[in-house]
Amino acid sequence: MPKRASPKPPKPLEPDSPKQLVQDYVDSLLQEGANELGIKAGQTTADMKFSLEVVACVGACAMAPVVIVNEKYHGGVKVSQAKKLVKG
């Protein structure tokens, strides 16, 4: 059987590319939520009230960036709003 070539690693994003700017914003939003909850992505708070998950798609591109709290979609979320969403 012929040996398959290993997949090439993705190229780093250009510093000011739209993709990099979006990624930086998402990272900031995620970090704010993590700081407020005291957990990292993929974890759940000790009281089991909150989990912090990173997903590729929630089917709401027109509302992006989206944060879902208790099955309610919050669109156009700014980093400064993350704390308010967590506190309710």
- Domains of the chain by start residue, with CATH: 18-87 (3.40.30.10)
Phi and psi at residue 15, in whole multiples of 5°?
-50, -40
Going residue by residue through the chain, which has 88 residues, state the pLDDT in tens, using 9 for 90 and above: 566 666 666 666 676 788 788 888 889 989 998 999 999 999 999 999 999 998 888 999 899 888 998 899 999 999 888 888 887 6
User: Which pair of structure tokens corresponds to residue 79?
Assistant: 């980093």
